[in-house]
Structure 1
């Protein structure tokens, strides 16, 4: 990677990590299928169905359930912040990405399946919240290895399209699994006619998600890109943490552009994550959406996000990731302000769908930008740092949402998301990224 002066705040492509030859189509398809299957956990388990079951049905008191859920998720974030860069460094050392992805994915699937045994009794609250927190950690660790494969399944000309297509498939996978859960299991026992006593039908959703994720993860486990172990000293945990600490300290002098990107991206990604995490709550509390309307809104938002991510992935390859990120973030901020000012349910519907259309492109373009500038051999460690820095600042959006809500009312919680995105946009804007379109990269 180009070594900038201490005062520099720019990025240039490393020219090392991205392969110049295309991976076989079946490998690219296998890599993309993993996103399709994995989003069952995020959409169904964490966002719309199982988390609601744990906090609202398993817990005897909803407020207590929300507190327990929040505490377990906070603990999960801290554990991930410690483990993600270590796992990435390990993967770069032993070069067994496929094996490590398989192990972390299988552990996640097992934890999801075990959620079936969480009965609708308060004594199972800690088990349910704990299993989901554990699964969120192992899934995010799997994501480090998964993202580390992107340089090896794409070229400088195709990285935006491949990343965007996979991210779009992730949204669609969440929609498909949610529809299967709703109509097959939940609504009056679903088309399968499952008994609703003891929440059996809802508990079976955990098995559905586990099978769904496993089925679409198997291809990458069998044919994903791998590598030979490095020669030299064996991997040691203490030495790995020291190396990671040295790299973080040295970024100020030798990789300031990368450090700038990791911090700014972490801020705006926190705002983007809050869009889906809080949209349903705000829709119900501020605009009077029923449970069914919230679900329909979630489905429409996910489809919109999939379409936007797929389309902008092509622009990423043509224009580079920076214009995609800047334009999308600016539009999201404008739409968010419009929703607050209008204060109408119809505007929330339209604005929310348009915002969803732009969220995925920013996430995908951020992944491709990082992929383009990572030197070979540091893919997994760098994506581990990407996850860690994101977790470190993940308090910003929730804190601002809470502050605006407490001060001005529920609908003003949207301003917490808007302000977080504005902070991330302001931090990212000065960063100059040279030569990251495919024309210069080739």
Structure 2
């Protein structure tokens, strides 16, 4: 099944040289390095540290973290499509990937200074929120580069390989920080947990990890050059929003299926984010995992997700992205429902059904990226992936709200699983009518 997009009157893009394996590998190492922010900062280490009782009432601090991330989400929604479009027209996609990546590296490094005291809570919240903003902006450029390092025949395999590298990078880094600093009473270099030092040193390692593995894509992948059809006159930043409005209107007229997919993917991707966001909470509060056991589960989950994502990337190229996404969403809903229905079975249920759920998360994320990459008009990758980030952020309240609502109504944390599954189910229903093969529209 081929996924293409026709545009009205667009000049054909010049034939690009076949990407080399070295370029693909260099590109994928950014995903590997980004696990430092995804897995360590936002999911399993720094945010867990920041919401601990050393910073105040845990429920209050968790709410404050939610508000900080909400503000970050709003800024991403406002900035992502315009910055993406400007990188398309300026031909400086790799430049902005580098700038935003190393801002994230600097912010992660600064987390070392967040001591275990309420006096440092505001600094910690600011660093996490700002890091999220610049990480998402870097991700817009990175995703847009997918077309530069793949061909129509290999885009699924390349995307799956990159996403899988991210999971594997997360495994390696979590193993290093867990056994080197978090778990021992006295870790490497005599580091202890006093005043949060183990976590703070972990942030230094994470910053160095991301910075190091971001270098290959910047050094080995050529800078993007906008095709003539995509070049525009330079305009001011505010004028870019006017141009964006015209672009979205044109997209609705000429390539409506892209808009439909952006809507559907915004919802099911928020469900996927909910799986990560609340997985650790569910493991600890509903299934009795200790903090150390949560990290061990996270390592195992990354192994399963990484292998599945790389493997399914090949099927993406053969079958098309939509069948992969639909199958993955169904698998997620079934696995998540089993976690809910069998919750009385204890940790063995979470280990089995939870790991089964991880089989489907990565393939759904990777295939969502390739579906969109295949149907974007040449020269508009940054703009449309900016909209991809924006729509995702616009729906980012759904899974947390559904989770909280179910827990509030029924009074037990495990009910929140159903809230996340509901979001995934709605996203699946909206995806089913979306056509993978686009027709040209005048």
Moved more, 232-241 or 38-47: 232-241
The 5 A counterparts of 1:1-400 are 12-14=4-6, 21-187=17-183, 188-228=185-225, 233-343=233-343, 344-345=345-346, 346-400=348-402
Count of residues in correspondence between the two structures: 427
Q: Which runs of 5+ in 1 are unaligned?
A: 1-9, 437-442
Cα 1:429/1:102, change in 2 over 3 Å:
same
- Superposed displacement of residue 23, structure 1: 1.1
Q: Please give the alpha-carbon distance, in whole angstroms, between the structure 1 residues aligned to 2:194 and 2:292.
A: 22
| Alpha-carbon shift at residue 141 of structure 1 (Å) | 0.3
SS at match of 2:188: coil
The equivalent position to 1:413 in structure 2, one of 389, 411, 416, is 416
Any idea what SS the aligned residue of 1:149 has?
A: helix
Contact 2:268 2:423 in 1 (8 A): yes
Deviations 1:67-126 (Å, cap 9, x if unpaired)?
Answer: 221111010000000110011011011111111111111111000001111111111100
Q: Does 1:433 align with 2:431?
A: no
User: What is the match of residue 439 of structure 1?
Assistant: none
Deviations 1:351-384 (A, max 9, x none): 1101111100010001001111111110101000
Report which stretch shifted further, 138-147 or 236-245.
Answer: 236-245
SS in 1 for 2:311: helix
Write the distance in 1 (CA, Å) between the matches of 2:385 and 2:302. 25
State the Cα distance separating 1:224 from its structure 2 match: 2.2
**Paired position in structure 2 for 1:6:** none
- What TM-score does the superposition give when structure 1 sets the normalisation length? 0.92
Aligned 8 A contact 2:257 2:438 in 1: no
Residues 268-307 of structure 1: per-residue CA shift (max 9 Å, x gap): 0000111111011112111222222222211111111101
Cα gap change, 1:14/1:170 in structure 2, threshold over 3 Å: closer, same or farther? farther
**Is there any run of 5+ residues in structure 2 with no aligned partner, and where?**
none
Contact 1:145 1:380 in 2 (8 A): yes
Which range moved further: 127-136 or 195-204?
195-204
What are the Cα deviations for residues 138-168 of structure 1, in whole angstroms up to 9, with x where unaligned?
Answer: 0110000111110010001111111001100
**CA separation in 2, counterparts of 1:363 and 1:17?**
27
- Displacement of 1:11 after TM fit? 6.8
Deviation at 1:18, TM superposition (A): 10
Work out the CA distance in 1 between the residues paired with 2:314 and 2:165: 15
Q: In the alignment, does 2:426 pair up with 1:423?
A: yes
Q: CA deviation at 1:26?
A: 1.6
Give the superposition deviation at 1:202: 1.7
Shift of 1:196: 3.4
Give the superposition deviation at 1:189.
3.1
1:76 and 1:136 in contact (8 A); partners too: yes
1:394 partner SS: coil
CA separation of 1:25/1:341 partners in 2, compared to 1, >3 Å: closer, same or farther?
A: same
> CA–CA distance in 1 between the matches of 2:219 and 2:251?
36
